[in-house]
Amino acid sequence: MRQPLVVGNWKMNGSTATIQTLLEQMKQGIGSVERTKVGVCPPFVYLSQVSIALGATNIAWGAQDVSQQAEGAFTGEVAVNMLKDFNCAYVIVGHSERRSLYHESDELVAQKFAAVQAGMMIPILCVGELLEERESGDTENVVKRQLDAVLNLAGIAAFEKAVIAYEPVWAIGTGKTASPQQAQDVHAFIRQQLAKYDNAIADKVQILYGGSVKGSNATELFSMADIDGGLIGGASLKADDFLTICRAG
Ligand code: 13P
């Protein structure tokens, strides 16, 4: 039985003041979330604030990206050990905004995934197709290619301590959610790909759905057999909306 997981990806949003309010409201409301493990991924500069505010709670936190390099002359980058310093549990790698806006390749994403794991944190590996790829029937090819890059570098055993997020790019921030069946089909495909190497790992890995998840559609999405929770963008910035989604897990 996989535990549901709902993670808020705040993207490049928030300020010290708005984050303080959001965290207070989350702490007040988290008692109403029964089964679901909850986490938030703020921008790097707020990790200290978040780690202090959430330290004594059961809400986890993580980062939205990381460098594949360990340390050195890489201006603007943040290393795995720095994230460990702030007790991050999770690190998102390969978000579609990183892949498309910052040209991150499958190979780079795989290196980041491996670096996070070597640092004893849990990578949340994002995969997903563009609208034109879905329309040309390439969804499975794209997702397989993105997964294979990580499997080739890190191996199947790496997925014992990893989370996968399926985020169809056409559903991110657009208000267009994948239908529960569309999402389920890809989640099942991802699990099948891993099962080719190891059934037990495929069965255990949490696969989250991301892309316009809201309080109003979360229950339906999360009730699908292979959907184990969500990676939430916009709706994670309001405590009420986010907690409603967390309760749906
Ligand atoms: P939205 O929930 O805003 O569509 O964003 C999804 C996402 O990209 C989470 O990583």
Per-residue pLDDT tens over the stretch 28-62: 999 999 999 999 999 999 999 999 999 999 999 99
SS3 state at 188: helix
User: What is the domain count for the chain?
Assistant: 1
Amino acid 46: pLDDT: 98
Please work out whether the CB of residue 167 comes within 6 Å of at least one atom of ligand 1: yes
* Residue among 97, 129, 167, 187 flagged as catalytic: 167
Task: Answer whether 123's CB lies under 8 Å from 116's CB.
Answer: yes
Please work out whether the CB of residue 9 comes within 6 Å of at least one atom of ligand 1: yes
Amino acid 106: pLDDT: 98
* Residue among 95, 129, 133, 187 flagged as catalytic: 95
95 part of the active site: yes
Residue of 5, 11, 166 with the most ligand 1 atoms within 8 Å of its CB, for mutation: 11
Predicted confidence (pLDDT) at residue 64 exceeds the cutoff of 90: yes
Crossing angle of helices 215-222 and 239-247, rounded to 10°: 20
Predicted confidence (pLDDT) at residue 157 exceeds the cutoff of 90: yes
Predicted confidence (pLDDT) at residue 173 exceeds the cutoff of 90: no
Predicted confidence (pLDDT) at residue 136 exceeds the cutoff of 90: yes
Amino acid 159: pLDDT: 98
Predicted confidence (pLDDT) at residue 177 exceeds the cutoff of 90: no
Which residue has the least CA distance to atom 9 on ligand 1?
A: 233
167 part of the active site: yes
Amino acid 179: pLDDT: 95
Please work out whether the CB of residue 55 comes within 6 Å of at least one atom of ligand 1: no
Nearest by Cα to 206 from 166, 157, 148, 155: 166
First-last CA distance in the chain: 13
Q: In this structure, what DSSP letter does residue 179 have? A: P
Summarised one tens digit per residue, pLDDT across range 94-111 is: 999 999 999 999 999 999
> What is the SS3 string spanning 18-86?
HHHHHHHHHHHHHHHCCCCEEEEECCHHHHHHHHHHHCCCCCEEEECCCCCCCCCCCCCCCCHHHHHHC
Number of H helices, E strands in the chain: 11, 8
Please work out whether the CB of residue 210 comes within 6 Å of at least one atom of ligand 1: yes
Q: Ligand 1: distance of its center to the CA of 221 in Å?
A: 14
Residue of 231, 236, 237 with the most ligand 1 atoms within 8 Å of its CB, for mutation: 231
Q: Ligand 1: distance of its center to the CA of 91 in Å?
A: 15
pTM exceeds 0.85 for this model: yes
Mean pLDDT in residue range 156-161: 98
Q: Which domain holds residue 97?
A: 5-247
Task: Answer whether 235's CB lies under 8 Å from 242's CB.
Answer: yes
**CATH code of the domain covering residue 182:** 3.20.20.70
Amino acid 29: pLDDT: 97
Amino acid 1: pLDDT: 82
Predicted confidence (pLDDT) at residue 175 exceeds the cutoff of 90: no
